[in-house]
Amino acid sequence: MKHSYAGRAAIVGIGATEFSKASGRSELQLALEACAAACADAGVDPRQVNGLSTFTMESNPESEIMRGLGIPELTHFSRIHFGGGAPCATVQYAAMAVASGVADYVLCYRAFNERSGRRFGVGVQDRPAGATAEEAQFAFTSPFGLLTPASWVAMFATRMMHEYGVTSEDFGRVAVADRRHAATNPAAHFYGQPIRLEDHQASRWIVEPLHLLDCCQETDGGQAMLVTTPERARDLAQPAVIVEAAAQGMADDQHMMRSFFRESIVGLPEMGTCARQIWETSGLAPADVKTAVLYDHFTPFVLAQLEEFGFCGPGEAKDFVADGGIELGGRLPVNTHGGQLGEAYLHGMNGIAEGVRQVRGTSVNQVEGAEHVLVTGGTGVPTSALMLGAAG
């Protein structure tokens, strides 16, 4: 079924801090800098904002953002759970809010000192007795040493290799593409530092079958997007980037990055749930999409996403990524900003900004004819996706 708010909301401003390994500032300051920058990009006074949307993992409460931006009143504030699965859903909630008249301008934001502060890669640890369901969900993984996102993803990757004959080199091709794109993006952490497949293969193990270069970096920074209606967008500073479709997805026997108990663990059915809604709502097909931003905290799931969205058949992604298939000039350039492996790990929010730039035609690695850009949220987690497009 087509979502009724689709096409009735637009991203009109994007703003980010620099991406670094040590910001030297508070997470709240990073969030406010990003939000203010997004408003400035759109030419909107922050005091006009009356909606906020962010992650449950976000440490900066809406009240502090409101105070910092001088917002007189908020009529919408929403949060999305499950870590990196949330980014595209912040825009979806914002789009629903503006399309339904609940709010006029909604800022979507995410900011953290994830590198210099608490690092997600360290993983989960001890859990208390009398645990909540949220805590108890780790009871059957933590005591066995499966504590980190890398270790969870590796479990899926091993099975992909077993069932589909995917190799570590196939995963490495994702890293090579990301780093090639980051190399020409001055905002990227790995600007000017492309890698070869040999570098990927030679990098140390983090969790077999994942090498260091299969894993995203950890970043300090903030990213925000301003969403309003296409009507209001006409008077603003930037061309509107229409939310052509947005979706959230969970699927059968869902767990947070540990959906190990499903009939098959070589796909991402929650991303399939998003894909179905994105195609139905946008009325587009994979052939209409010339570039995509696919969530890449770890390389193996980029392959699975290509399959879930139908860019290739199940088990065929390893062929799709061969011979530069997802690099500039290839079948489907992916993560033209460098992705989270190359630009920054901002829980996918920086990927939405790249989707906006591609539609605006301002990406440093611009893809010709990028009228519709697919952007996805976290993989392995309950997730979200967006189709962005130019105003008609």
Partner 1 sequence: MSADDLLTRLRALVGQQGPVQSARHPVNLPAIADWCDAMGDGNPVYTDEEAAAKSRHGGIVAPPATLDIWDRPGLPAQPRFRPAAKPPAADPRSRTLRLLEEAGFIGVVAVNSELEIARYLRPGDVVQNTQILDDVSEEKQTALGVGHFVTTRQRYETSDGEHVGDLLFRILKFKPSSGQQSTGTSPAAAAQARPAPDPSPALRPRPGINKDNEALWEGYRNHELRLPRCNGCGRVFFPPSPRCSSCGAFDMGYVVVSGRGTLYSFSVVHHPQVPGFRYPLVVGLVELDGADDGAGRGVRFLADLVGVSPAQAEVGMPLEIEWLDSHPALVEGATDSRGPITVPQFRPATPTRREDTLTAGSVQEGQRLPLWTLPLAPTHIVAGALATRDFQDVHHDRDLAVQKGSKDIFLNINTSLGLMERYVTDWSGPDAAVTALRVRLGAPAYPYMPLTFSGAVKSVDADTGRVVVGVQASNELGPHVTGTVELELQP
Output the CA–CA distances (angstroms, integers) from residue 283 to 21, 279, 346, 389, in the order listed: 41, 6, 29, 12
Question: Rounded CA gap, 206 and 114, in Å?
Answer: 19
Question: Rounded CA gap, 168 and 210, in Å?
Answer: 8
Rule CB under 8 A: which of 228-257 touch partner 1? 255
SS3 category, 121: helix
* Shortest reach from residue 120's CB to partner 1, in Å: 12
Q: Does 158 bind partner 1 (CB under 8 A)?
A: yes
Q: Does 143 bind partner 1 (CB under 8 A)?
A: yes
Q: Does 207 bind partner 1 (CB under 8 A)?
A: yes
Q: Does 144 bind partner 1 (CB under 8 A)?
A: yes
Tell me whether residue 100 or residue 261 sits nearer to partner 1 (CB atom).
Answer: 261
Residue showing tokens 């009724």: 4
* Shortest reach from residue 253's CB to partner 1, in Å: 9
Binding segment toward partner 1, per CB under 8 A, in 64-72, 174-182, 259-267, 379-387? 259-267
Tell me whether residue 18 or residue 205 sits nearer to partner 1 (CB atom).
Answer: 205
Is 360 in contact with 236 (CB distance < 8 Å)?
A: no
Q: Which of 379, 355, 215, 358 is nearest to 302 (CA)?
A: 379
Structural Rg of the chain based on CA atoms = 19
Residue showing tokens 């077993």: 162
Q: Which of 22, 122, 202, 237 binds partner 1 (CB under 8 A)?
A: 122
Q: Does 123 bind partner 1 (CB under 8 A)?
A: yes
For the question of residue 295 being annotated catalytic, the response is yes
Q: Does 323 bind partner 1 (CB under 8 A)?
A: no
Q: Which of 125, 285, 329, 368 binds partner 1 (CB under 8 A)?
A: 125
Tokens of 326: 């997802």
Output the CA–CA distances (angstroms, integers) from residue 340 to 55, 84, 131, 370, in the order listed: 18, 11, 33, 21
For the question of residue 345 being annotated catalytic, the response is yes
Binding segment toward partner 1, per CB under 8 A, in 28-36, 201-209, 272-280, 368-376? 201-209
Q: Active-site residue numbers? A: 295, 345
